[in-house]
Chains A and B, each alone.
Chain A
Amino acid sequence: MSADTRREKAAHIRHLLDTEGENVRENASHFNENRYDAIDEFDEYEELRTTVREIKEDAIERLPELIETVTESVEANGGHVYLAEDAADANQYIENVVGDAETLVKSKSMTTEEIDVNEQLETAGVDVYETDLGEFVLQVADENPSHIVGPSIHKSRAGIAELFNEQFDPEETLETPEELTEFARDYLGERIRDADVGMTGANFVVADSGTITLVTNEGNARKSAVTPDTHVAVAGVEKLIPTLSDLQPFVELIARSATGQPITQYVTMLSPPVETPTLDFDEPDTPLSESDGDREFHLVLLDNGRTAMREDDQLRETLYCIRCGACANSCANFQHVGGHAFGGETYSGGIATGWEAGVHGQDSAAEFNDLCTGCSRCVNNCPVKIDIPWINEVVRDRINHNESTEFDFLVEGLTPDEEPGGVDLQKRFFGNYADLAKVGSATAPLSNWIAGTAPARALMERVLGIDRRRSLPEFERETLRKWFDARGGSRVSPADADREAMLYPDAYTNYIEVERGKAAVRVLEALGVAVEVPDVASSGRAPLSQGMLATAERHAHDAYADLAEHIDAGRDIVIIEPSDLAMFAGEYEKFLPDRSAERLDDNSYEIMEYVYGLLENGGSSGKLPAGDGERVAYHSHCQQRTLGLEAHTVAVLEDRGYDVLTSETECCGMAGSFGYKREYYELSMDVGSELEAQFQDEEARDRTVVASGTSCLEQLDSLLERPSRHPVQLIDPDR
């Protein structure tokens, strides 16, 4: 990416932060909080997630068979099914069905957005009306959805009022939400009454009964489906589920995941054509029972790249998505900037990378894919258990490989990674950070001085896209390993030890945040653990997050080879940097044989989790300093929270007598290398401002700040005047 492109990107993001950021943030955070509450109260959540995942895996596996089944069942009901190969094919079929109809009313459907059916029909002379209020607002404003569930969440009430007053010039100026809603309802009510055709999407299609399921709150989908005598439903082929009983767990999960409601107002399950009498408002005196009742139904099943996705081992999971939007709502970047930046042609949020790459092509995904930082906050929130960050990393890798140029061999010769030359220099820089840190440390403090000078920063910004407003981590000349060797290794000998541990010297702890490593060694020794700090390959987290999968995989093999020996020797693997632990516990299953990944996962612990375990198993905390009620503000790490390990740090600190307050934001905004990048610096700081606000308010202002992740600590350093450190440093016997 050129410096100019970065600048343009940064300007676009800043514009959205200024114009739409506040509304998106308010609404997405609201959905997010409601979802957490709804899930807390719902005991069957995890069980149903497992069930729906299995149903989806099975349904996609059997897709060709389900398409046949639904074709038979809909035809037996008296309807028609059309399997459309792509958007043009679908639109052509719909245009033929609609024929010389004058008006068509629609309920909300992302799939019809995907094929741009409105434009097509309008060109053919049909008046198309969106009847979902959010979609209607966008249609009037001529804008695209900013969220897959709440398409107009970027608009304020005042903005909508202004828009309506200008466009419709009503007798009484519209102002309140009630007035606006009433106006839209009346306006659309007339359109629905006069419409010749009703078009809906489908959240689920039950194959063996031909049942279209619509999950809505307003009632417009019901009206659009049954008021006109022709109903066209457009659904991606992935919406098929085998039988009615498969529908139940989805009904119980989808609303909770989307908006935090236990169920939406209307769950409409129609097996059309339905028996509902047609309403003929032109014949005012005809009783309901005498309406002609002739109905026509068309189910348009859209492929548009889905068959290819199904055959793609990495993208297949995307087809399990039920489009609840939870991955967008739980994403800090999305909460701040919304789907107009964090989205492609049609879809938005974390999973959009999979959808866009599959249905519109990689270029559309490339536009926004870097906004997924891999923080993993969405992972536990996805009702179908999709590994959303992984899909982003895979697509990023593919994009990297697509951008190769003829000079690639030059770069390839100069970098230690496994990637082709086309990979962006910025990505290469961050992806090879462990190697770089080694050189930086060996040449410190010179390397720090040089890197800190204005010309060097200008050059780094221009060439590598590292924002000059960020201060750079400072390399230590004496690494953790050198310090450890110099003091004569472990002070607790294996012969006297209760346990033996290998403290994993990740690049940050070894070369930069050396103090937290020393504290960890002393804490472990105080608890009777014999410690080793050997030379171990880096985990591969850095290249993975840049979409450099081949490099990440090579690291995984090297690191496993190094670690396995320690596990065999009976040592526990103790890790300070949560993102490395998450790599071992998560992504390694993609790179290593199952048994190897499991073995490493079973034997790896986050440092405070490990301390917690030692104390729980009778270890004495007597040698660790007491907190004496010291007030602490703690920001856990995104991936650590996804692994369910925030509580352990809190418990240990409370056990030592600290008064702990935890942060409430999803992410600090730094997310590894993300916050350093010129194009994302401002977004990163905007996300960080929430954490800043919480840690600066009255409850927290005087508290000692601790955080578990390196990048979180760096972000906190730039947000707050007071220093921050790793929690293990609070219980360091040398403190």
Chain B
Amino acid sequence: MSDVLTTFESSLDGLDVATTRTDADGFAEALDDAIREPAVGVPLGLDDVSLADTAVTVDPTATEFETARTGVTPVGAGIATYGSLAVAADAAGSEPVSLYPERHVAVLREEELHADMDEAFAWLGEEFAAGRDSYVFATGASATADMGEMVEGVHGPAEVHVVVLER
């Protein structure tokens, strides 16, 4: 287990975000445990795992999207010191799928973890150069204190869960 992963997990813990570690074999089960149904998602784009074996509806219709309780997306990177997730504003719809449902389940490969902002921005620079130039660094649940006290889940998800595919 790497230090970066441990740091990442403890940052997420501080944000009230749970992490599940798994591998290709355990993925489908771990993911099904992490979602609340109905769940929608975008293709993970990974070789060894896919949402096909899970309860997640991929490429949802507008109605399915609106009624979903969970949105599952891959994330391009994780930033260990901050517990941030890099969600791409891509053609597959990662941005709305991670944003609208009350629960966001992010799938991340351990290799995609970066220790800090320096590393994360170096990675982001490469992504921009490759034409993938729209990302959101999401850190914890959506929140507001505008109504007098901190309330989670305003316009964005109230709960976030990260599934890490270990090396």
Over the window 130-167 of chain B, the binary record of Cβ atoms lying under 8 Å from chain A Cβ atoms (1 yes, 0 no) is: 00011111111111111111010111110000000000
In the complex, chain A residues whose CB is within 8 Å of the CB of B48: none
Whether A449 is near chain B, meaning CB under 8 Å from some CB there, is no
Per the bound structure, the CA–CA distance linking A131 and B145 in Å amounts to 14
Whether A287 lies near B66 (C-beta < 8 A) is no
Interface of chain A, main secondary structure: mixed
Whether B46 is near chain A, meaning CB under 8 Å from some CB there, is no
Whether B146 lies near A288 (C-beta < 8 A) is no
Whether B125 lies near A245 (C-beta < 8 A) is yes
Q: Which of B1-9, B22-30, B89-97 faces chain A?
A: B89-97
Whether A131 lies near B91 (C-beta < 8 A) is no
In the complex, chain A residues whose CB is within 8 Å of the CB of B140: 265
Whether B89 lies near A275 (C-beta < 8 A) is yes
Decide: A157 near B148, CB < 8 A? Known: A185-B155, A281-B66. yes
Q: Which residue of B lies closest to A285 (CB)?
A: B61
Whether B89 lies near A156 (C-beta < 8 A) is no
Whether B33 is near chain A, meaning CB under 8 Å from some CB there, is no
Decide: A222 near B93, CB < 8 A? Known: A156-B148, A267-B137, A286-B61. no
Q: Which residue of A lies closest to B42 (CB)?
A: A288
Q: Please give the number of chain B residues whose Cβ is less than 8 angstroms from any Cβ of chain A in the complex.
A: 49
Q: How far is the CB of B15 from chain A (nearest CB, A)?
A: 9
In the complex, chain B residues whose CB is within 8 Å of the CB of A272: 134
Q: Which residue of B lies closest to A252 (CB)?
A: B117
Whether B96 lies near A226 (C-beta < 8 A) is yes
Q: Which residue of B lies closest to A243 (CB)?
A: B125
Q: How far is the CB of A392 from chain B (nearest CB, A)?
A: 29
Q: Which residue of A lies closest to B151 (CB)?
A: A181
In the complex, chain A residues whose CB is within 8 Å of the CB of B93: 276-277, 288-289
Per the bound structure, the CA–CA distance linking A435 and B96 in Å amounts to 68
Give which listed residue, A188, A209, A251, A284, contacts B155 with CB less than 8 A. Answer: A188
Q: How far is the CB of B127 from chain A (nearest CB, A)?
A: 10
Decide: A244 near B121, CB < 8 A? Known: A223-B99, A265-B156. yes
Within 8 A of A (CB), among B6-24: none
Whether A262 is near chain B, meaning CB under 8 Å from some CB there, is yes
Central interface residue in B60, B97, B143, by most chain A CB within 10 Å: B143
Per the bound structure, the CA–CA distance linking A252 and B82 in Å amounts to 10
Within 8 A of A (CB), among B38-80: 42, 59-63, 65-66
Whether A247 is near chain B, meaning CB under 8 Å from some CB there, is yes
In the complex, chain A residues whose CB is within 8 Å of the CB of B154: 133, 181, 184-185, 217-220
In the complex, chain A residues whose CB is within 8 Å of the CB of B125: 244-245
Q: Which residue of B lies closest to A137 (CB)?
A: B146
Whether B106 is near chain A, meaning CB under 8 Å from some CB there, is no
Decide: A269 near B135, CB < 8 A? Known: A218-B156, A226-B89, A288-B59. yes
Whether A279 is near chain B, meaning CB under 8 Å from some CB there, is yes
Q: How far is the CB of A620 from chain B (nearest CB, A)?
A: 49
In the complex, chain B residues whose CB is within 8 Å of the CB of A227: 96
Within 8 A of B (CB), among A240-297: 244-245, 247-248, 251-252, 262-272, 274-277, 279-281, 283-289, 293
Mind listing 19 A-B residue pairs with CB under 8 Å?
Answer: A133-B147, A134-B146, A152-B146, A157-B149, A218-B142, A222-B136, A226-B89, A244-B125, A245-B125, A251-B117, A263-B139, A265-B141, A268-B136, A269-B136, A270-B134, A272-B134, A279-B65, A284-B63, A293-B91
5 residue pairs, one from A and one from B, having the closest CB atoms: A219-B156, A157-B148, A219-B155, A133-B146, A271-B133
